[in-house]
Amino acid sequence: MKHSLYYKFILGYLIFGLLGFVVIAAGSSQFMYRHLLEKKTADMYDEANLIAASYSSVYQGKRQDLDAAYPQLQAVAVFLGTEIWVVNRQGIIVVDSDQSSRSGAMIEDFDPTAAGNRYYSVGNYYGQFPYDVVSVSAPITGNYNTYGYVLVHLPVSKIHDEANGALNVVYITAAVIYLLSLIILLVFTKTVYFPLKKITVGANEYAAGNLTYQIDLKTHDEMGYLADTLNYMSGELNKMEEYQRKFIANVSHDFRSPLTSIKGYLEAIIDGTIPPEMSERYLTRVIAETDRLNKLTQGMLTLNTLDSKGFLSRSNFDINRVVKDTAASFEGTCDAKNINFDLTFSDNIQMVYADLGKIQQVLYNLIDNAIKFSHADSTIFIQTSVRYEKIFVSVKDTGIGIPKDNVKKIWERFYKTDLSRGKDKKGTGLGLSIVKEIIQAHGENIDVVSTEGVGTEFIFSLPRAANL
Please check the confidence at residue 12 and state whether its pLDDT lies above 80: no
> So what's the pLDDT on residue 306?
56
The stretches of 316-355 forming alpha helices (DSSP H) are 319-328, 331-337
Q: For residue 66, name the pLDDT band (cuts at 50, 70, 90).
A: very low
Same fold, 222-304 and 312-463: no
Minimum mean pLDDT range among 235-239, 269-273, 302-306: 302-306
What DSSP letter does each residue of 387-441 carry, written as one string?
A: ETTEEEEEEE--SS---GGGGGGTTSTT---HHHHHH-SS--S-HHHHHHHHHHH
Residue 270 C-beta-side C-alpha neighbours within 13 Å? 6
Q: CATH says 222-304 is which class? A: mainly alpha
- Range from 113-117, 182-186, 200-204, 240-244 that averages highest in pLDDT: 200-204
- Give the residue with greater pLDDT, 302 vs 136: 136
Question: Where does residue 134 fall: left (phi above 0), alpha (psi -120 to 50 degrees), or beta otherwise?
Answer: beta
The CATH class that applies to domain 312-463 reads: alpha beta
Burial bucket for residue 77 (CB in 10 Å: 0-12, 13-18, 19+): buried
Please state the rounded mean pLDDT for residues 398-417: 76
Instruction: Determine the topology of domain 5-162 in CATH.
Output: Beta-Lactamase (3.30.450)
* Percentage, residues of the chain above pLDDT 70: 82
Model confidence at 425: pLDDT above 50: no
| DSSP assigned state of 277 | G
User: Average pLDDT for residues 319-332, to the nearest whole number?
Assistant: 88
What pLDDT does 419 receive?
Answer: 45
Q: How far apart are CA 209 and CA 120, in angstroms?
A: 80
pLDDT of 174 reads 78
**Which has the higher per-residue pLDDT, 286 or 384?**
384
DSSP three-state, residue 204: helix
Give the Å distances, CA to CA, from 20 to 5, 15, 28, 60: 22, 8, 11, 58
353 vs 54: which has the higher pLDDT: 353
Query: Of 75-79, 96-100, 122-126, where does mean pLDDT reach its minimum?
Result: 96-100
- 463 vs 244: which has the higher pLDDT: 463
Residue 415: Cβ within 10 Å count:
16
Total residues found in the chain within this entry? 468
- The share of the chain scoring above pLDDT 90, in percent, equals 10
pLDDT at residue 415 in the model: 62
370-401 pLDDT, tens digit per residue, is 998 888 999 999 999 998 889 999 999 988 88
Dihedral Cα 429, 433, 434, 437, nearest 10 deg = -170
Q: Name the band, by pLDDT with cuts 50, 70 and 90, for residue 329.
A: confident
Residues 6 or more apart whose Cβ sits within 8 Å of residue 77:
83, 84, 97, 98
Q: Report DSSP state, residue 446.
A: E
Summarize pLDDT for 222-266 with one digit per residue, the tens. 788 888 888 888 888 887 777 667 666 656 655 676 787 788 878
Highest mean pLDDT out of 200-214, 284-298, 371-385: 371-385
Rounded to the nearest angstrom, the gap between the alpha carbon of residue 295 and the centroid of all alpha carbons in its chain is 48
The mean predicted confidence, pLDDT, of the chain is 79
pLDDT of 179 above 70: yes
- Region 173-181: what's the mean pLDDT? 81
Does residue 167 surpass a pLDDT of 50? yes
Alpha-carbon torsion angle 42, 44, 46, 52, nearest 10: -150
C-beta of residue 466 within 8 angstroms of C-beta of residue 353: yes
Distance CA 449, CA 202 (A): 42
d(Cα 232, Cα 230) in Å, to the nearest integer? 5
Q: H/E element holding 39?
A: helix 5-56
Query: Of 130, 141, 32, which is closest to residue 83 (Cα–Cα)?
Result: 130
Q: Could you tell me which residues come within 8 angstroms of residue 323 by beta carbon, excluding any fewer than 6 positions away?
A: 343, 345, 363, 382, 384, 393
- Cβ atoms of 147 and 59 closer than 8 Å: yes
Confidence of residue 75 (pLDDT cuts 50, 70, 90): confident
- Helix or strand or coil: residue 129? coil
For residues 24 and 153, which has the higher predicted lDDT (pLDDT)? 153
Q: Which residue has the higher pLDDT, 188 or 214?
A: 214
How far apart CA 173 and CA 167 sit, in angstroms, is: 9
Q: Which pLDDT score, from 0 to 100, does residue 423 have?
A: 45
- CA separation for the pair 303, 280 (Å, rounded): 35
pLDDT surpassing 90 at residue 405: no
Predicted TM-score (pTM) of this structure: 0.46
Please give the Cα distance from 292 to 387 (Å, whole number).
39
Give yes or no for a contact between 87 and 121, defined as CB atoms under 8 angstroms apart.
no
What is the pLDDT, as a whole number, of residue 311? 66
Domain boundaries, the chain: 5-162, 222-304, 312-463
